[in-house]
């Protein structure tokens, strides 16, 4: 896939995540014990052979900058290509929306024009997945399509919530897309767009320039929907595991689903590995009273308490007598003696003092801000 | 001319033959330690943390794995444009080329490398020890004393003193006598094989030593005694802290076990003195319902279904249901299937123990000869070994 460059849109989501995204973009939210959300799509691109990636930022991108750095963990610290962080388009910042709007892409014009690649793989950052785009890319090139949209097939009885703002595709027998439509209650298609696109670069540049000149606005789905009848756009079905993070609830679910063996083995090992910033923590230490069941634990932890069905990040301390169940405990937090946490999300570096009891519900999680002392 | 005040050279050419099958394919400094480290991570991380950013690693035996491990030096922050880490194997010169004959000869053969940085001081280290040390403090001590050479030393038990270079000092810590591996030690101040030299002085002695056909070109046997004899200013630097030679199977096992103590001599969790290592790119470890883990260290990529007690589990290890692991060290990517019992074993990288096997449980039956490498009941299994299901491997056995 040397002829494709990657663009990741690191949306600055402002609603639905509470304090998790008050100081960081969604792309930089910690997930799965040692990763940030962006690691999955970025590693997918790298493992597919893309060596030139631009990340378009919106608000609060300091944490994201700190995380990706020069891109060395993804082997993107290159002389030719590599990783480029693209600052937000200035006028855009005020409007605020997590849709990939044409105007957001304007900041990437220089990057697109300068790059030698002829195709663009474009995605948002909020997908927890391990994808290889090689096959979709070959189909795109061989079919002479202008745009390829990756989609998944919804189970007939699949959940309806979270489908608002999602786009559905209708395709003919040759995978040519005949219609792109936002979800409505009368929706007939089961092909739900992943908002991952393979686009001919010249066409994307044309769209951005034309949009700037004519004032055309809207998400890429909307822009493509307006043109689908006149252009060859094809659909490509991705059958891999993909979790989409668009709320605290889906964030929690995506963490918990990784406790399942089949999903874990696929997500972390096939078709490639998931890279992240290395922290050089020591191995985790289990002490005498440690009891751990069905949990994911990163390095640098000291566990002497009870942990069940939980996601424990790097450098967490669970002291003797403390109980953590169905919870997500982020980096550097400490749970002291006889504290009890259930259905709780602790942001980084939280201290839960002894005998404190925090109980949430599966449908209503307790979220504690970064650095808080409870 | 741009220069470095002090550069380090790590002697990583030791064969490590007392580690048996563990050094069959890799050099001793590349042997795994503590779940996610290799022995050489300790001197390399010490250099980084001591602000020494130019390090030559002198390799000789089985260098492939060590070379690919160190690579550009990025994990230790040693990928620098001026300085950084250099791998220095013996090479053919215009007239002739030889293997490194001894520790002093190894440095002699790399004098051009050292000269490139025109240093005031040269720090000589060995790649065989587990310890955390601030070399910058030792260099400061060397400078304060206007010393020609400074030798780092540690008090060892008297009964072990004859295995080391032993020194005696006056009140100012100036060395008055030095004996390499003496039969009847006069002191228990042992050399750790960590030296600081004035480069100009060392250069002169390396050349002199090379010209002496009777010399075995070794620091402890030749260079240090000669310098002392010539009245050079040589000082002993007292090191206090954990320092462990992991040259034998027993000492390697013991050093791993010592990490599990409630207050371990070597604190790997100290954020101000991190030990860096090459990242294995593994997900967090998974502990299943039904797993029991006590007094153990577990690292990324491991999947634990069984019981683990007092053991060190490296990255990517899989431990099956109803399996019991006790007092053992499992190297990266080892797989132990269901219903096994493993006691006091070191198991090499990527080895597989099939189900219903027992390792290190039974004593040897009469007539069996224990391995020369193993003692105290330790079982040593090499890398890439498959232990067939239902096997029974007795104590003190080495499998290669």
User: Which of B48, B275, B20, B13 has the alpha carbon at shortest distance from B126?
Assistant: B13
Q: Do B291 and A312 touch (CB under 8 A)?
A: no
pLDDT of A303 above 50: yes
Residue A164 has pLDDT above 90, yes or no: no
Q: So what's the pLDDT on residue B366?
A: 75
Q: Alpha-carbon distance B400 to B387, whole Å?
A: 11
CA B364 – CA B393 distance, rounded (Å): 9
Across the interface, whether the CB atoms of B299 and A299 are under 8 A apart is answered yes
DSSP character string of A291-307: EEESEEE-TT-EE-SEE
- Contacts with A295 from chain B: Cβ below 8 Å: 286-287
Q: What is the mean pLDDT of residues A140-149?
A: 96
pLDDT at B375: 84
What Cα–Cα distance (Å) separates residue A26 from each residue in A31, A98, B166, B307? Answer: 11, 10, 60, 38
- Long-range contacts formed by B138-142: CB under 8 A, 24+ apart: B138/B194, B138/B196, B138/B237, B138/B239, B139/B6, B139/B196, B141/B235, B141/B237, B142/B196, B142/B235, B142/B237
Residue A199 contacts residue A147 (beta carbons within 8 Å): yes
CB B277 within 8 A of CB B74: no
Q: In this structure, are residues A290 and A275 in contact, taking their beta carbons and an 8 Å threshold?
A: no
Q: Indicate if the alpha-carbon torsion angle A138, A143, A149, A151 is positive or negative.
A: negative
- Tokens coding A32: 């799965």
Report the relative pairing of strands B84-88 and B54-59 from DSSP bridges.
parallel
Quick: pLDDT tens for A216-249. 888 899 999 999 999 999 999 999 999 999 889 9
Does pLDDT of A91 surpass 60?
no
Q: Which helix (H) or strand (E) holds A255?
A: helix A248-257
Q: Which residues, other chains included, contact B189 with Cβ-Cβ below 8 Å and sequence gap of 6+?
A: B153, B154, B155, B166, B167, B168, B169, B236
Contact flag B283-A295 (C-beta cutoff 8 Å): no
Q: Using alpha carbons, list the distances in angstroms from residue A272 to A45, A173, A233, A268, A276.
A: 10, 31, 28, 7, 13
Cβ-contact B276, B48 below 8 angstroms: yes
Phi, psi (deg, nearest 5) at residue B176? -105, -30
Give chain B positions within 8 Å (CB) of A268: 282-283
CA A251 to chain centre: 10
Give the separation between CA A137 and CA A198, rounded to whole angstroms.
7
* % of chain A at pLDDT higher than 90: 75
B83: distance to nearest CA of chain A, Å? 20
Phi, psi (5° rounding) for residue B208?
-60, -45
Which residue of chain A is at minimal alpha-carbon distance from B290?
A293
Give the Cα separation of A155 and B179 in Å (integer): 79
Is B55 part of the contact surface with chain A (CB cutoff 8 Å)? Answer: no
Q: What is the dihedral of CA B107, B112, B115, B116, to 10 degrees?
A: -120
Other C-beta atoms lying within 10 Å of the C-beta of residue A353: 13
Is A283 close to B274, i.e. CB distance below 8 A?
Answer: no
Confidence grade of residue A157 (pLDDT, cut at 50, 70, 90): low
What string of DSSP letters covers B336-367? E-TT-EEESEEE-TT-EE-TT-EES-SPPPTT
Q: Cis before residue B336, ω within 30 degrees of 0?
A: no
The reply to whether A275 touches chain B by the CB within 8 Å rule is yes
Q: For tokens 């309806």, what's the residue?
A: A160
Q: What is the mean pLDDT of residues A274-282?
A: 94
Cα–Cα dist A231/A173, whole Å:
16
DSSP symbols for A99-115: S-BHHHHGGGHHHHHHS
pLDDT at residue A94, as a whole number: 45
Task: Assess B289–A contact: CB distance below 8 Å, yes or no.
Answer: yes
**Contact, B75 vs B279, CB < 8 A?**
yes
* B199-248 pLDDT tens trace: 999 999 999 999 999 999 999 999 999 999 999 999 999 999 999 999 89
CA distance A123 to A352: 38
pLDDT in tens, A99-109: 567 888 888 99
- Model confidence at A93: pLDDT above 50: no
Closest by CA to B65, choosing from B274, B370, B332, B356, is: B332
The two tokens of residue A112 are: 């697109």
Q: How many CB atoms lie within 10 A of CB B315?
A: 23
Q: Which residues of A touch B275 (CB under 8 A)?
A: 280, 282
Calpha distance A85→B180 (Å, rounded):
58
The rounded distance, in Å, linking the Cα atoms of A33 and A17 is 18
Q: What is the pLDDT of residue A103?
A: 81
Kindly report the number of other CB atoms within 10 A of residue B190's CB atom: 24
Structure tokens at B67: 């070379």
User: Is the pLDDT at A95 greater than 60, yes or no?
Assistant: no
Please report residues of A whose CB lies closer than 8 A to that of B287. 292-295, 297
pLDDT in tens, A39-82: 999 999 999 999 999 999 887 888 999 999 999 999 999 989 99
Q: How many CB pairs (< 8 A) connect A and B?
A: 97
Q: What's the average model confidence in pLDDT over A118-144?
A: 95
pLDDT at A18 (0 to 100): 85
Q: Is A364 a residue whose pLDDT tops 60? A: yes
Name the CA radius of gyration of chain A, rounded.
21
C-alpha distances (whole Å) from A74 to each of A45, A51, A156, B5, B135 are 10, 9, 38, 34, 33
How many angstroms from the chain centroid is the CA of residue B36? Answer: 14
Q: What are the start-end ranges of the H helices in B111-186?
A: 111-117, 135-144
Instruction: Please say whether the beta carbons of A9 and A56 come within 8 A.
Output: yes
Position A218 scores a pLDDT of 85
Under the banding of pLDDT at 50, 70 and 90, the label for residue A160 is low
**B320/A contact by beta carbon, under 8 A:** no
Q: Which of B35, B287, B289 sits opposite A283 (nearest CB)?
A: B35
**A358: enclosing H helix or E strand:** strand A357-359
User: How many other CB atoms are there within 10 angstroms of residue B361's CB atom?
Assistant: 18
Q: CA-nearest residue of chain B to A300?
A: B269
Low-confidence ranges of chain B (pLDDT < 50): none
| Angle formed at CA B53 by CA B48 and CA B54, multiple of 5 degrees | 130
């Amino acid at each position: 896939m040397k002829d494709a460059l990657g663009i990741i849109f690191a949306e600055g989501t402002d609603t639905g995540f509470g304090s998790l995204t008050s100081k960081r973009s969604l792309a930089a939210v910690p997930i799965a014990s040692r990763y940030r959300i962006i690691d999955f799509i970025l590693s997918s691109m790298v493992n597919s052979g893309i060596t030139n990636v631009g990340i378009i930022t919106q608000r609060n991108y300091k944490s994201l900058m700190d995380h990706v750095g020069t891109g060395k963990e993804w082997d993107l610290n290159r002389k030719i290509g590599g990783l480029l962080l693209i600052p937000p388009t200035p006028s855009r910042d005020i409007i605020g929306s997590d849709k990939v709007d044409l105007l957001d892409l304007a900041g990437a014009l220089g990057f697109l024009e300068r790059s030698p690649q002829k195709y663009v793989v474009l995605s948002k950052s909020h997908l927890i997945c391990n994808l290889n785009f090689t096959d979709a890319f070959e189909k795109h090139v061989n079919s002479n399509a202008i745009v390829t949209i990756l989609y998944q097939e919804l189970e007939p009885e699949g959940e309806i919530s979270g489908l608002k703002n999602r786009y559905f595709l209708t395709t003919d027998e040759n995978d040519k897309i005949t219609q792109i439509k936002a979800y409505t209650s009368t929706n007939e298609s089961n092909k739900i767009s992943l908002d991952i696109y393979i686009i001919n670069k010249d066409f994307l540049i044309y769209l951005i320039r034309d949009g700037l000149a004519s004032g055309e606005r809207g998400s890429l789905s909307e822009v493509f929907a307006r043109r689908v009848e006149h252009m060859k756009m094809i659909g490509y079905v991705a059958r891999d595991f993909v979790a989409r993070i668009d709320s605290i609830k889906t964030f929690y679910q995506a963490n918990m689903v990784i406790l399942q063996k089949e999903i874990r083995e696929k997500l972390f090992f096939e078709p490639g590995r998931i890279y992240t910033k290395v922290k050089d923590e020591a191995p985790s230490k289990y002490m005498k009273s440690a009891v751990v069941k069905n949990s994911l634990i990163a390095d640098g932890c000291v566990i002497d308490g009870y942990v069940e069905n939980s996601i424990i990040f790097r450098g967490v301390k669970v002291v003797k007598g403390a109980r953590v169940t169905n919870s997500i405990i982020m980096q550097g937090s400490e749970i002291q003696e006889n504290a009890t946490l259930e259905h709780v999300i602790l942001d980084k570096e939280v201290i839960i003092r002894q005998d404190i009891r925090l109980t949430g519900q599966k449908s209503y999680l307790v979220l504690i801000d970064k650095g808080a002392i409870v | 001319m741009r220069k470095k005040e002090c550069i380090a050279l790590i002697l990583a050419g030791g064969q490590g033959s007392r580690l048996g099958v563990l050094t069959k394919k890799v050099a001793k400094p590349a042997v795994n330690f503590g779940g996610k480290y290799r022995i050489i991570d300790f001197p390399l991380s010490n250099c980084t943390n001591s602000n020494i950013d130019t390090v030559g690693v002198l390799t000789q035996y089985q260098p492939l794995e060590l070379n690919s491990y160190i690579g550009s030096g990025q994990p230790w922050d040693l990928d620098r444009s001026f300085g950084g880490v250099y791998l220095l194997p013996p090479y053919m010169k215009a007239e002739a080329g030889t293997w490194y004959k001894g520790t002093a000869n190894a440095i002699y053969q790399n004098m051009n490398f050292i000269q490139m940085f025109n240093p005031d001081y040269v720090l000589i280290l060995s790649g065989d020890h587990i310890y955390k040390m601030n070399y910058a403090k030792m260099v400061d001590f060397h400078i304060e004393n206007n010393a020609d050479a400074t030798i780092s030393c540690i008090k060892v038990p008297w009964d072990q003193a004859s295995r080391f270079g032993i020194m005696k000092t006056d009140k100012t810590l100036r060395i008055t006598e030095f004996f390499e591996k003496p039969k009847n030690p006069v002191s228990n101040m042992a050399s750790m094989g960590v030296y600081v030299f004035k480069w100009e002085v060392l250069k002169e002695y390396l050349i002199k030593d090379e010209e002496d056909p009777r010399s075995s070109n070794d620091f402890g046997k030749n260079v240090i005694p000669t310098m002392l004899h010539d009245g050079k200013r040589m000082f002993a630097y007292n090191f206090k802290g954990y320092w462990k030679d992991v040259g034998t199977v027993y000492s390697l096992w013991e050093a791993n076990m010592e990490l599990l103590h409630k207050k371990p001599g070597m604190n790997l969790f100290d954020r101000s003195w991190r030990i860096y290592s090459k990242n294995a790119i593994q997900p967090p470890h998974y502990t299943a319902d039904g797993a029991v883990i006590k007094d153990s260290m577990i690292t990324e990529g491991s999947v634990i279904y069984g019981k683990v007690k007092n053991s060190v589990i490296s990255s990517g290890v899989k431990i099956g249901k109803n399996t019991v692991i006790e007092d053992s060290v499992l190297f990266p990517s080892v797989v132990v299937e269901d219903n096994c019992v493993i006691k006091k074993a070191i198991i090499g990288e990527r080895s597989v123990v099939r189900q219903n096997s027992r390792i290190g449980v039974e004593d040897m039956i009469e007539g069996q000869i224990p391995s020369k490498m193993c003692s105290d009941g330790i079982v040593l299994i090499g890398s890439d070994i498959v232990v067939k299901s239902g096997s029974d491997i007795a104590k003190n056995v080495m499998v290669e």
